[in-house]
Structure 1
């Protein structure tokens, strides 16, 4: 198979699925790992895909209403999200009531919570379908109580809208942990108007709010504002945080070191 033919197939896979893993492409194309990585590098250089850890994703658009799906988001900035989730996990204590917004970084956090037998008992309120699924083992054992809001499902597997907002309005939790589409000097934003309202409801029911955001989120602006920076108690961001983020977030920012790739 010619390089151009392979690259056309890789591009088609990314466009169809939003993301493609190197391991999957190796199996599908019957070529080496190095060949696939070289093809992805050439496609990225042409601006047709964006290289991420372990594969490629569709290039990010600049439109404020763009909303990638969960499977795309979870592939982006993987090591950074894992480090941020680990830092958030270290702050949790048994007996707390937490609110986790839908998102790929909060999903990583939910996986850590599900695997931590010492973090019991625990109550988790969430509008994330993937998060509820990740916590299923703890729920089955009776160690974690999960409150899943109702609502309308978004491309990022969040439940949003009036039903979700109403259920959250009657709850009170110790801390909300939010993943965001973007944040800048104006605050936290998302492309989805209904999701912004539901995230505001998550913040309103919490005594404190922590934002989990890798450094690529700084400067990204979505259509709808969730909250101002003044409404956030803590931002966990990897150590790639740009100078502007460090300056504007000031005392609210805690940077998290990202382990070097093996």
Structure 2
């Protein structure tokens, strides 16, 4: 078993049971006590669990807690980059796209910087700045107004009013959490309203979320999973979670390093 597969299994067990012991993991995974402790340290550093004496427990996060853009940008960097690059393959020259705020959608923006003749509607200050600085010929960036959140999103009545008059071919949408029952959620009520306005102005919606977002539930739901056209995630998402998601969304894309992807058509 590869180290990444072992850590994914540990994270899944913590998510399912709420807590795990080092001794039990040693017996189940067939590796040393030291290896398990290193795995737990790495998962804790990524914010996927909390270290405790003799094992690990699930992270207890208030549903209304909203991390800042800079803090989130240091987490799951390789996974977010792979997701962004896989999603960028959906963007065609001459199209109009929406990009919501978030660090994973920022990687999508980085990947589409060189695509010419596209119009980008976004409520993300970092995304707008990145694309503005790229200077790609024919690329137009429309930044909504609004109140700035800790995640550098522009939200509120001004943003919603702007979005009501716009229409895009494809929306790339991030989320604080993903759950089969709760759907896509955010801890910010006003951002949830703005995300709904983004969805309403798009013909199709593509959700970009790394595996650590699954099972996380924020304060407010802004989209049900069965309303998602395409969901792009990384290859550390468990097979069980993949099957659940594939049954709800139209298309599930699993991004791997070096541009490889796994595409699964859902039954939704």
TM-score range, shorter chain: 0.7 to 0.9
1:10-43 per-residue CA deviation (whole Å, 9 max, x = no partner) reads xxxxxxxxxxxxxxxxxxxxxxxxxxxxxxx99x
Select 2:184's aligned residue among 178, 188, 194.
188
Select 2:147's aligned residue among 124, 131, 152.
152
| 3-state DSSP of counterpart to 2:87 | helix
Residue in 1 that maps onto 2:79: 80
Contact 2:116 2:137 survives alignment (8 Å): no
Alignment of 1:208 with 2:207, yes or no, is no
Select 1:51's aligned residue among 21, 41, 45.
45
Residue 142 of structure 1 deviates from its aligned partner by 4.9
| 3-state DSSP of counterpart to 1:174 | strand
TM-score by length of 1: 0.74
Residue 94 of structure 1 deviates from its aligned partner by 0.3
Structure 1 residues without counterparts, runs of 5 or longer: 1-40, 54-58
| 3-state DSSP of counterpart to 1:75 | coil
**2-structure distance, mates of 1:211, 1:60:** 24
**1-structure distance, mates of 2:101, 2:239:** 28
1:135-154 per-residue CA deviation (whole Å, 9 max, x = no partner) reads 0134x455211110000000
**1-structure distance, mates of 2:46, 2:253:** 24
Select 1:135's aligned residue among 124, 131, 134.
131
Contact 1:89 1:112 survives alignment (8 Å): yes
Alignment of 1:163 with 2:165, yes or no, is no
Residue 50 of structure 1 deviates from its aligned partner by 3.9
Residue in 2 that maps onto 1:4: none
Residue in 1 that maps onto 2:251: 252
Residue in 2 that maps onto 1:232: 228
**1-structure distance, mates of 2:127, 2:59:** 24
Residue 211 of structure 1 deviates from its aligned partner by 0.3
**2-structure distance, mates of 1:207, 1:215:** 26
Select 1:242's aligned residue among 238, 244, 254.
238
Contact 2:116 2:136 survives alignment (8 Å): no
1:117-143 per-residue CA deviation (whole Å, 9 max, x = no partner) reads xx21010000000000110134x4552
Residue 61 of structure 1 deviates from its aligned partner by 4.5
Residue in 1 that maps onto 2:65: 66
TM-score by length of 2: 0.72
Residue 252 of structure 1 deviates from its aligned partner by 2.9
| 3-state DSSP of counterpart to 1:125 | strand
**2-structure distance, mates of 1:89, 1:179:** 14
**1-structure distance, mates of 2:80, 2:159:** 26
